[in-house]
Amino acid sequence: MKKELLRLFLYPLVLIFMVSFSFAAKIHLKNGYTITGEIISSDDTSVTIRIPVLGIMKIARYKITKIEPPLEVSPEEKELKNEIIEPETPEPKAQEPARGAVLPQQSKTKSAVQKPIIADFLGTRREKKRASFYLSGGLTDIDGGDLNSVIRDYKQLVNDWNDNYLTDYSADWNEFERITNWKAEVLVNITSSFSFGLGVEYLNSKTQRGNMVLNDSFSWREDWGSSYANCTSTTNSQFAPQQELTIIPVTFNFYYFVPIGNIAEVFVKAGFSYNLGKLEYNETYQSDTKDKRDHYSSDDIYLYTSNANSAEEGTYSYSVKCNETGIQAGLGFDIKPFSFISLVVEGTYRRVNFKNWVGSGNDIWNWDEKWRFDSDTEYSTASGNDSDDWSGRIWYYELYDSGLDKQYGFLSLHEEAPEADDLTKNVRAAKININGFSLRAGIRISF
């Protein structure tokens, strides 16, 4: 009985809603809402609608974006609409309300939903200023030219002697591979894409002091007919070379920037440089030699023993300079987190060949000697010190070892070129270069 009464009550209600909504109009508002009901009346300023639940409601015309189905428009309204054309606002989806911050607009009667874009904000700050100051630091790989080839040759010579003559030499001498590279540069921006820069760099590397140990021991017999001597000689020598290379390039570079997004750029650069070079060589050395001779008569009767010992130590050094032009080119990337600061990473290839190293050198040493003719006499002694100074240039030459049938390169400071002969070959001025790649990171400050 209750179910039948419920059906009797619901059927008319559903029928009323179906009939009312089948003839209902839809009014779309600018705030995204849609109102459905029966339009009772309308004029130039408002539309009156009956809503089944809320009753009669008057809606101002300026709040309405669209009415479905469209109302019949009077000739006066058509003329007014032809004069005032409002841009059509897309219909928002009721089930997906607008997200993001609500920003106030110019009109007091309008509001819009808009999501702020960070890239747009940063992009407005990416405008280039007139000039910038660039500081960076990193490492440069260099070829070195004769400077490194001589070190390799000397170490090879030591290995060849040990293999062929069973000596016990050792050679610890590092090549120039990576040198520190500091840079300061002022860039002038011609356009947003083109700039030129005037800068100065400082390249410096000081090798660790090497250690060369050459220990020899020989035995032989000297025969004079009525007597002879069994002789032994032991020599312990070592020298410790150290080199410091300093290059100061004055650079002029052209830059071309390609933007990536709003706050980053890739750039290519190319230019030339004038390079001030300085090479300093410092070597400490010492040598200790002991000779012993046991004398015998021709019938092998021991006669006496003579000794001669000597020791020497000193310092050999020179300082030479050379200036040369060069070229460089590179590729880099910078990102601008602030309006006046850029973080920069760049790689550069440099080509500079130095060919005329000129300077001065000196050799300072002291020595001690003692000897005796037989074991029954006291040692005689002598000592002293000396020095030698000269000017010249660094020469490269190769010494030929006939036993090994190989040539090995050397560098030394001479006033004149060493004379070429059967043992000294390929004499020429030394060629030292800093050809290689550098990788630097730094900061660019715009002003």
What tens digit of pLDDT does each residue of 130-159 get?
A: 899 999 999 999 999 999 999 999 999 999
Residue 5, pLDDT > 50, answer no
Reduced to 3 states (helix: H, G, I; strand: E, B; else coil), residue 63 is: helix
Question: Has residue 320 got a pLDDT over 50?
Answer: yes
- C-alpha to C-alpha distance for 407 and 157, rounded to whole angstroms: 9
pLDDT digits (tens, 9 = 90+) for 182-227: 999 999 999 989 999 999 999 999 998 999 999 999 999 999 999 9
CA distance 139 to 50: 81
Report whether pLDDT(102) > 70.
Answer: no
Q: Encoding tokens for residue 150?
A: 């001589």
Q: CA nearest 313: which of 238, 243, 382?
A: 238
How far, in Å, CA of 192 to CA of 186, rounded? 16
Q: Please state the φ and ψ torsions of residue 125, each to the nearest 5 degrees.
A: -95, 0
Structure-block tokens of residue 27: 């009014």
- Is the pLDDT reported for residue 90 higher than 60? no
Predicted local distance difference test score (pLDDT) of residue 437:
97
pLDDT, tens only, 245-284: 999 999 999 999 999 988 899 999 999 999 999 999 999 9
Q: How far apart are CA 97 and CA 129, in angstroms?
A: 43
The predicted pLDDT at position 408 comes to: 97
Phi, psi angles (nearest 5°) of residue 149: -65, -35
| Paired strand residues for 334 | 265, 344
The two three-digit tokens of residue 63, written as one number: 């709040």
